[in-house]
Amino acid sequence: MINIATRLLLGGLVLLSGNSRGFDIFPTLINARVADPTQFPASVWTRGCTATVVGERVVFIAAHCVSGSISFTVGPTRYTASCSRAREYSGNSTADYALCQTDKTVVGIPYERINIDPSRFRVGDELLLTGYGCLRPGGGGGNDGVYRIGESRIRRLPSGSNNDIVTSGGASLCFGDSGGPAFHVDPASGERVVVSTNSRGDIRTTSYLSATHTTMAQRFS
């Protein structure tokens, strides 16, 4: 049994016990479907985690995914990036933020936009969870280089020093999804923004996402 205070880093997801335009998707994370990778070119796979290119030399990922540097490919080009974690992460697991600077400009793709507006969504709204992780509650399947997406509904928003957006129902994080983006998609325009990095989950139904609009996130960025 895992003690309720224990956190296990397994394949890039911490298990807790106890372009920016409209896009197309193709039916087939847990409770997810296969995405058209051409619609998510800034989402990359690196060392057991998912990450997001958010600037010409900037990659956004979860702090628990990195200890120094990461590497990934976009098209035929391989990139290496040096990473820095949010200082607060050592004492606050909800500040699960890291930014990485690449060794050269990432070319040939549009970068994702990061949300800083706390009023963009509310409890009850849907977010689009994404990642390269496994498929089955409790783990297993997936981790096959296929990027998957799925909706989940917001149950709780960040408050005070807690940076978590908590979602449940529909899609949920599995090992390997850590570090990847969750998106809010505007229902009118179809425009999307990154609202968090995938942080933790129960590997069944509930996901914990470190939001990008909080004071801690903005101070780090």
Both 22 and 127 in one domain: the answer is yes
Both 84 and 174 in one domain: the answer is no
Handedness of CA 123, 119, 26, 164 (dihedral sign): negative
Both 175 and 195 in one domain: the answer is yes
Which pTM was predicted? 0.88
Both 33 and 125 in one domain: the answer is yes
Confidence bin at 212 (pLDDT 50/70/90)? very high
* Residue range(s) defining the domain that contains residue 95: 43-102
Q: What's the pLDDT tens digit per position in 13-56?
A: 444 433 433 333 333 499 999 999 899 999 999 988 999 999 99
Q: What's the pLDDT tens digit per position in 80-125?
A: 999 999 999 999 999 999 999 999 999 999 999 999 999 999 999 9
136 close to 174: Cβ distance less than 8 angstroms: yes
Poorest-pLDDT segment among 9-13, 127-131, 193-197: 9-13
Both 147 and 127 in one domain: the answer is yes
Nearest residue to 15 via CA among 152, 134, 170, 158:
134
Both 29 and 119 in one domain: the answer is yes
Both 127 and 200 in one domain: the answer is yes
The total domain count for the chain is 2
Both 120 and 92 in one domain: the answer is no
Both 208 and 158 in one domain: the answer is yes
Both 48 and 93 in one domain: the answer is yes
Burial 86-113 (b: 16+ CB within 10 A, else e): bebbeeebbbbbbbbebeeebeebebbb
Both 155 and 211 in one domain: the answer is yes
